[in-house]
Amino acid sequence: MTELITKKWNQIGWLQTDQAADELAFQRVIRLCQDSQARLAILNTLEEMPDRLHTLIASLGFSLSAYSEHEAKQESLDKTLEVAANSQVAAHCHTVRGRPLEGILQQVVTHGYDLLMKSAQSSYGIRHVLLGHLDRQLIRKCPCPVWIEKPATRSSHDRILAAVDPAPFADVIEHNQLNVDVLRWASYLAEIEHAQLDVVHVWPFHHERRLHGRGGFSDSEVAGVGAEIRRRHETALNDLIEPFRSKIQRVHLLKGDAAEEISRLAARQSFDVVVMGTVCRSGIQGLLIGNTAETVLDQIDCSVVALKPPGFVSPVGISQ
DSSP string over 234-254: HHHHHHHHGGGGGG-SEEEEE
Whether the predicted pLDDT of 186 surpasses 70: yes
- Are 130 and 276 spatial neighbours (Cβ–Cβ below 8 Å)? no
Q: What is the model's pLDDT at position 289? A: 53
Alpha-carbon distance of 21 to 26, in angstroms, equals: 9
Q: What is the model's pLDDT at position 190? A: 93
Cα angle 267, 24, 15; round to 5: 95
Q: What is the model's pLDDT at position 64? A: 61
pLDDT digits (tens, 9 = 90+) for 291-305: 677 778 778 888 899
CATH number belonging to the domain at 11-307, selected among 3.30.470.10, 3.40.50.12370, 1.20.210.10, 3.90.1530.30:
3.40.50.12370
One-letter amino acid at 14 equals: W
Task: Tell me the average pLDDT of the chain.
Answer: 80
Alpha-carbon distance of 6 to 257, in angstroms, equals: 31
Where does the pLDDT of residue 213 fall: very low under 50, low under 70, confident under 90, or very high at 90 and above? low
Average pLDDT over residues 177-200: 93
Q: Which candidate, 163, 183, 188, 165, places its Cα nearest to that of 175?
A: 165
Q: What is the model's pLDDT at position 1? A: 35
Where does the pLDDT of residue 50 fall: very low under 50, low under 70, confident under 90, or very high at 90 and above? low
Alpha-carbon distance of 144 to 13, in angstroms, equals: 10
Q: Which residues lie below 8 Å from residue 312, measured CB to CB, with a gap of 6+?
A: 143, 280, 285, 286
Where does the pLDDT of residue 268 fall: very low under 50, low under 70, confident under 90, or very high at 90 and above? very high
Whether the predicted pLDDT of 241 surpasses 60: yes
Note the helical H segments in 61-215: 69-86, 100-111, 126-130, 133-141, 173-193, 208-212
- Beta partners for residue 196, in sequence order: 159
Alpha-carbon distance of 306 to 320, in angstroms, equals: 25
SS3 assignment, position 177: helix
